Amino acid sequence: MFLANIVNEAKINRTRKRWWGRTRVRVGVGVGWGDKPLDLFLKIGLDERTAENTVANGKVTANLTAVIHEERYLMLISGSPTQAGVAIISLNCIRHFFKFLSLNFCPLLFHIEAAVADGCDRTVGNLLYTVHTEIYFSDRPVLRACNSKEILDKHLKVTGGKVFTRFPPEPNGYLHIGHAKAMFVDFGLAKERGGCCYLRYDDTNPEAEKKEYIDHIEEIVGWMGWEPFKITYTSNYFQQLYKLAVELIRRGRAYVDHQTPDEIKEYREKKMNSPWRDRPTEESLKLFDDMKRGMIEEGKATLRMKQDMQSDNFNMYDLIAYRIKFTPHPHAGDKWCIYPSYDYAHCIVDSLENVTHSLCTLEFETRRASYYWLLDALGLYQPYVWEYSRLNITNAVMSKRKLNRLVTERWVDGWDDPRLMTLAGLRRRGVTASSINAFVRGIGITRSDCSMIRLDRLEYHIREELNKTAARTMVVLNPVKVVITNMDASIMDLDAKKWPDAPADDASSFYKVPFSKVVYIEQSDFRMKDSKDYYGLAPGKSVLLRYAFPIKCTEVILGDNQSILEIRAEYDPLKKTKPKGVLHWVSESSPGVIPLKVEVRLFDKLFISENPAELDDWLGDLNPHSKVVVTDAYAVPSLRNAAIGDRFQFERLGYFVVDKDSSPEKLVFNRTVTLRDSYSKGGK
C-alpha cells in the first residue's frame, strides 16, 4: 500500500521522542458543537477511565477526534463513508509521554472502530494514517485545518468527498529526482484514494521562470507515468489573488510597506514592527492600487501581511504578500507589474482549487502557521497540510540554485547532463521512469530530515530493471588486435545471446556476430606476465572468447616503447580447451575492414564528497573524472541500426543507452550504470 511505509516508520520511531505543547483540534457534527472533551469520548463508547486517559493525551485526542467526526459527519450527509477536509472545535493538550501513547492507542482504536461501525474498512486505515503521521513525528504544536460547517459543506459540494492533491513545481529550472518523490506522494495518494491531482505551475516569479521550463515540466511528468487531473497556473488566479489582497487590507490584515530588504531583516531580528504597519487602511488601499498601476518604482513598496511580529515562528513576521516587478510573465504576459509571493499565493490557490491534502517537504513545516493564518484571515477553506522529508542523494546537489549555477557556468553540459540528478539527465543517462519510481517507493515516506540516501541504492533499482530489459551485446572500449594464426581468411557467423536465459529454439533471442582471423579484445584483458588470480590472456595462456572458441597466446609484437602492437594466437576449433577466463571481443566483419566505431561516454559521480552541499567550496569538490569519453571503441555490426534511447548491456562493462548526439556517421553511447552492485551486497 502506498502509505504503508509512513505507518511502519511511525511504529519504529514512536518510542524515540518526548512531546510537549498545545494543539488545536477540530471536532465535528454528530456529537454536538459544545461537547467537552470528556463528554465527547464517553459519547463514542469509551469507558470513563479510557476517556480520561485519552483527554490527558492531547495529541491523540486532537487527531483522532478530528478524523472520527469528519467521517461521521460525512456519513450523516452522504450515507456513505468518504474523505475530505477536517473541521471543527478546539481543545488544549497537556504534556505527555510516549509510553501513554503505546498503552492507550490500541484500546482507543478498538472503541473508535466500534463507534463508526457504519463506516467501511478504509475508515480505520484513515485513522491510523492520520494519527501516525501527525502525532508520532511532530516535535512542535500541530496546527490543523479549521473549517466551519458552511465552508466544509461548500467544499464537499465541489469535491464530492474525493481526495484532491496538487504537484506545484515552480518553472524556474528542470525537475530533479527530489521532484520524483513529490510526484509519487502527490499523484500516488490521489490515485490510491480514487482522487485527482493537479499539475500546478507555481509561477509567481517572472524573473526566474521560462517557457522552456514550463514545457519541460509537463513533458517530464508524463514521462514519469503521471496524468494530471488538470494543468493550472498560479498566474491563472492573479485577478482573484489581487482582489483577495485588497480584501485583506480592508480587514486590517495587510499594509503597504516601504522598508528595504535589509531594514526588513533588521526589524525581524529585533521583533520590531515596521514604521508603516499601522498606517490607515485607506492609505494602504490607495498605495496598493498605485503599485498595481505601475506608479511606484520597483523596490520602493511591498504589501505585507499584518501577522505576529512577537511570534516564536519567524514565518509569522509580517511576510510579504506582493512586490513590484516590471518583468513580463512567461504565461501572463505584461498585464501585471505586481506579483504575489509564494507565502501569499500558495495557500490561497490550494483553497481555490479545493485541494484536500496539501503535501510539502519538511522545510515548509514552519510555514504552516502562516498558511492557516492567511486562509483564516480571508475566511477561506483550509486544506489538510502534512510535511515529509526531502530526498537527498549522496555525491550530488539538489538545490535548483546550485543546479542552475552548474548549468549557467558550464560546469556541466546543460540541464540534461547525464551526471546530474535532474530527471532529464537521468533519462539521458538511460535510467527509466519505472526504476526511479521503484527507488522512491523503496525508500518510503518519512519525517526524518537528516537522511542521506546512497547513490548505489538508486543504482540497484536501475540494474534490477535493465537486467530484465536491456539486450546483451559486445563492445570493446580500448581495443588491442589479436591475429589468429591458424585460421584462414573466411568469416564465420556465430550466434550470440541477447538474453542470458534465451531458449535455443528462439531465433529472436540471438544476434549474429562475425568471427574472423582478426579480433579485438580489451587492452586490460592482456598481460605480459600471468598470475594465478588473473583470468585474462597472457603469453602461453588460453582464454575463451564469449560465444566463440578458446584461443591461446603464442606471440606478442611490441613497438619501440614496449607498447603492444599485436597479439598472435591460435584458436581451438574443437573447443577441447576449458579455460577459466571468458572475454568479450569484436571481430572484423570482412578481411581488412575495421569493426564498427562508436563513441562511449563513461560517467561517474559528479562530486567526490557524499554531501557536497555542506561544503563552502562545493564547486571545488567536482570530480575531474566524472566524464571520460572513449572516441574509438569497437562494436559488433548488429548495433549499427540502434536508435536513440535504445538500451543495452555491454557484456562485462555495464548498461548503456544510445545518446541523442548520435548521427548516421557515428553512434554515441552513455553508460547508465556499471554491472557491479554494492547495495545488494551490503553496501552502505
Beta-bridge partner residues of 542: 552
497-506 long-range Cβ contacts below 8 angstroms, 24+ apart: 497/472, 497/547, 498/471, 498/472, 498/473, 499/471, 499/472, 500/472
Contact 62, 91 (CB under 8 A): yes
All 3 cell numbers of residue 197? Answer: 491531482
Task: Count CA within 13 A, CB hemisphere, residue 353.
Answer: 29
Say which of 22, 52, 113, 170 is annotated catalytic: 170
**CA-CA-CA-CA dihedral for 382, 384, 389, 392, to nearest 10:** -60
Picking from 526, 455, 489, 414, the residue whose alpha carbon sits closest to that of residue 674 is 455
First to last CA, the chain: 26
Say which of 24, 193, 400, 447 is annotated catalytic: 400
Say which residue the cell 591460435 belongs to: 570
Q: CB within 8 A of 419, min separation 6: which ones?
A: 412, 425, 429, 603, 604, 605, 606, 626, 627
Say which residue the cell 574472423 belongs to: 516
Helix axes 238-250, 342-352, angle to 10 degrees: 110
CA-to-CA separations, 504 to 497, 500, 515, in angstroms, rounded: 9, 11, 20
Beta-bridge partner residues of 184: none
Contact 201, 234 (CB under 8 A): yes
Which residues in 74-92 are b (16+ Cβ under 10 Å) and which e? bbeeeeebbbbbbbbbebe
User: Rounded to an integer, what distance in angstroms lies between the CA atom of residue 286 and that of residue 255?
Assistant: 11
Q: Greatest CA span in the chain, whole angstroms?
A: 101
Contact 349, 378 (CB under 8 A): no
Q: How many residues does the chain have?
A: 684
Q: Residue 260 has what DSSP assignment? A: -
Helix boundaries (H) for 230-311: 238-250, 261-269, 281-292
Q: 170 an active-site residue?
A: yes
Q: Could you give the 3-state DSSP secondary structure of residue 120?
A: coil
Helix axes 177-192, 433-443, angle to 10 degrees: 80
Stated as kind and residue range, the H or E segment containing 435 is helix 433-443
Q: Residue 526 has what DSSP assignment? A: B
Beta strand pairing call for 582-583 and 357-361: unpaired
User: Rounded to an integer, what distance in angstroms lies between the CA atom of residue 480 and that of residue 583?
Assistant: 13
- Percent of the chain that is helix, strand, coil (3-state, to 5): 35, 20, 45
Say which of 140, 279, 325, 390 is annotated catalytic: 390
Contact 294, 337 (CB under 8 A): yes
Contact 523, 480 (CB under 8 A): yes
Picking from 633, 640, 637, 638, the residue whose alpha carbon sits closest to that of residue 654 is 633
Q: 265 an active-site residue?
A: no
Q: 247 an active-site residue?
A: no
Phi, psi of 371 (to 5 degrees): -55, -55
Q: CB within 8 A of 365, min separation 6: which ones?
A: 140, 387
Catalytic residues, which ones? 170, 390, 400
